[in-house]
Amino acid sequence: MYTVNAPPDRVVAVLSADERWMTLALDLAPRGLGRTAPNPPVSCVIVQGDEVVGQGFHPRAGEPHAEVFAPHGAGAHARGATAYVTLEPCSHHGRTPPCTDALIASGVCRVVVSTLNPNPRVAGRGVQALRDAAIDVSVGILEAGATRQQAGFRSVIVRGRPWVVAKYAMTLDGKVAAVGEGNGKVSDAAARERAMVWRNELDAVAVGSGTLNMDDPALTTRGVPGGRYARAVVFDRQARSNPQAQAWRPGSVLVTAPDAAVSAFEASGITVVRAETPQSALTQLGHLGLSSMLLEGGPGLLSTLLDAGLVDEVRTFISPKLLGGGLSPLTSPDRRMNEAQELRDVTVETLGQDVLVTGLLSDIPRL
């Protein structure tokens, strides 16, 4: 990327050819979010000259990978072309054959890889396999964007647990609810629509027992074309949640203490995770194939995971309202300002009358 001459108040960024085509690939990959775990969301674009001749993304676990769909679409036009892939292709047999084999067989002469694969079974071997086949390989094009898309996959591979995203809405004076009111709407429609998109894109949506019992949330995905339900996860150490709550459905998970009585939940087909610590709970959720989790409440659960260093990303809607008394988003002990946890890679966006602030608390795992 480079800049061109422009008026003093404007800087015009010009993408290189590789950045241009990789941007197209990165726009395509998220179509698999929430559907590919334990695999990553990956896309592949094949370019011949200045024309896209094939493209594809990994739609869900167990189905062909992007590096199979794109050459299939390109056909004979792939020979001598360049393939742009958002993650280093796998070079081993899993549920499907190696993606490197598909690229080699297609006849492409060059492969541009956004970022290396952290899976120890790949981790550079895919690039080497392509080079051994006399294919030119470039690595590191728009790497930051690719690793952000793959945060869940990378978290499970490197740390053995899902990437945890805390989401909440609060008033301008920092309140998430009025006392005793339960699920009063804080943000407006645009913010709630964005939250539904996140439920569609992340593998699980989690709440604590207090939120479940007071609000009885369905934890479904609504208003998203082609949307799917994230797996509902309820943290309840004493397993005293209402077994008839709306969140319980096939695939729902109860996270509870080792000695909790759970027969009513097991009889309903609920998956039970018994854990001594929050870290153990998240590790077991990773073993269930969950690579990302949207944490929606309440303050007690958020504080527990935050204080344990297990919240990786924060997405907060701030609504232009003043409530006065009410519930804060955290119940953590008082700290000094110099002990505050600071977000990194912060973005600020206006949604209707609300402001969305997002940022990272953890580095996205690499190799």
Annotated binding site for NADP(+): 169, 199, 211, 215
H/E segment holding residue 76: none
Binding-site residue numbers for substrate are 219, 222, 296
CA distance 321 to 33: 33
Structure token pair of residue 273:
């995770």
Contact 266, 135 (CB under 8 A): no
Structure token pair of residue 11:
């800087």
Residues 215, 273, 262, CA angle at the centre, nearest 5°? 70
Q: Residues with Cβ < 8 Å from 133, sequence gap 6 or more?
A: 100, 104
Contact 93, 124 (CB under 8 A): no
Per DSSP, helices labelled H in 52-142 are 66-74, 99-106, 125-132
CB atoms within 10 A of CB 121: 13
Look at residue 48 and give its three-state secondary structure.
Answer: strand
Q: Residues with Cβ < 8 Å from 316, sequence gap 6 or more?
A: 167, 168, 169, 170, 329, 356, 357, 358
Closest CA to 306 of 145, 167, 144: 167
> Does 51 qualify as catalytic in the annotation?
no
Give me the catalytic one of 19, 51, 63, 67: 67
Sign of the alpha-carbon dihedral angle for 275, 358, 184, 222: negative
Task: Label residue 339 exposed, middle or buried (CB < 10 Å: 0-12, 13-18, 19+).
Answer: exposed
Report the catalytic residues.
67
